[in-house]
Amino acid sequence: MLKEAEIRPDELMKGQAERLANDVRRLMRHKEQFVAVPCPACDSRLSQPAYAKYELQFVTCAGCQTVYASPRPRPEHMDEYYSHSENYAYWNQYIFPASENARREKIFKPRVRKVLELCQRFGIRQDTLLEVGAGFGTFCQELGSTGAFKRVIGVEPTPELASTCRARGIEVIEKRIEDAELSEQVDVVVSFEVIEHLFSARDFLQKCHRLIRPGGVLMLTCPNVQGFDILTLGEKSSAVDHEHVNLFHPGSLAMLLTACGFEVIERQTPGQLDAELVRKQVLAGQHSLEHEPFLRRVLIEEWERLGEKFQAFLSDNLLSSNMLLVAKKPAHG
């Protein structure tokens, strides 16, 4: 079972928090220019307030229950933010190297196995795979080591991370996927924890649809706003932040994928940290279970006996706050 400290080492997170605060201040200089947007999943403009955090207002769509930031930074504000982010430079220099072994074994190797299993199950060609948001390069490197694909390409617009990927021998496109052009279509696109950051999730998925060869697949992971830790902690959840401007759930993301021409073939919530994240907030005095005797028993009093089983229940029943969806581009698409 994955533990939070394995991927976010406690001794390094104070330095990360300081740099994140600097990034937020820079982003909020543009606050007067932020723009109101409709629901990223269904385009409805009917909503009600959900959370307020980092000077952003999050609303819940009245139609599909997606939670999203509106008003939100414009695309040019987001581009500037990620290009000059102190936080991402810090992750690249300190947190990713310190946590890579755990991430490789417990996150990326299972994702590689999942991709290969999908290719076998659906008879998908294995010429080219594109990872959107290659980050530190661990997934591309791990997949490349299997020799399963003839070509593995990483898309990574953040300069420090793109440089790290290149240094690891990964073919990198240092642009947003929306601005990237390829000479031919690809068989598989994967994107881990990216779609929640984007100004227009619809534009992103439409571009993915154009890039994928008919019969190919798209695999996405992102937060599930209807998962346990987000529903329990609300705006205190680490998944609710100034970068995560789109907070889908399995139903609303599937609806958007379908609208963009995909056929959704799999939905999972494989998250492993929900119970631990809520437990840590309670132990730190940041969240109360005073009126939640059942959760107090599971998360505090009998944690050693029940914690892992409770997390497995959440993950197995679409109740975790991390979700994975697989969608296929129809062979005639």
pLDDT tens digits, residue range 78-127?
999 998 999 999 999 999 999 999 999 999 999 999 999 999 999 999 99
Tell me: pLDDT of 333 over 80. Answer: no
pLDDT of residue 133: 96
Tell me: pLDDT of 134 over 90. Answer: yes
pLDDT of residue 87: 94
Report the DSSP pairing between strands 246-247 and 67-69: antiparallel
Evaluate whether 313 touches 319 at the Cβ level (below 8 Å): yes
d(CA 233, CA 229): 6
Q: State what percent of residues in the chain have pLDDT above 90.
A: 95
* Tokens describing residue 222: 């992102």
pLDDT of residue 1: 81
Question: Strand (E) positions, 114-182?
Answer: 128-132, 151-155, 171-173
- 3-state class of 207 per DSSP? helix
CB atoms within 10 A of CB 103: 21
User: In terms of C-beta density within 10 A (0-12 exposed, 13-18 middle, 19 or more buried), how is residue 318 classed?
Assistant: middle
Enclosing H/E stretch for 259: helix 250-259
What b/e readout covers 11-22, taking b as 16+ CB neighbours within 10 angstroms?
ebeeebeebbee
- Output the average pLDDT for the chain: 96
How would residue 181 be classed by pLDDT, with cut points 50, 70 and 90?
Answer: confident
Contacts of 309 (CB under 8 A, 6+ apart): none
Tell which residue, 275, 327, 285, 272, has the closest CA to residue 2. Answer: 272
Q: HSE of 37 in the Cβ direction (CA atoms, 13 Å)?
A: 26
> Among all chains, which residue has been given the structure tokens 């990713």?
96
In the chain, the amino acid numbered 322 is N
Taking CA atoms, 176 is separated from 133, 192, 198, 262, in Å, by 9, 14, 10, 21
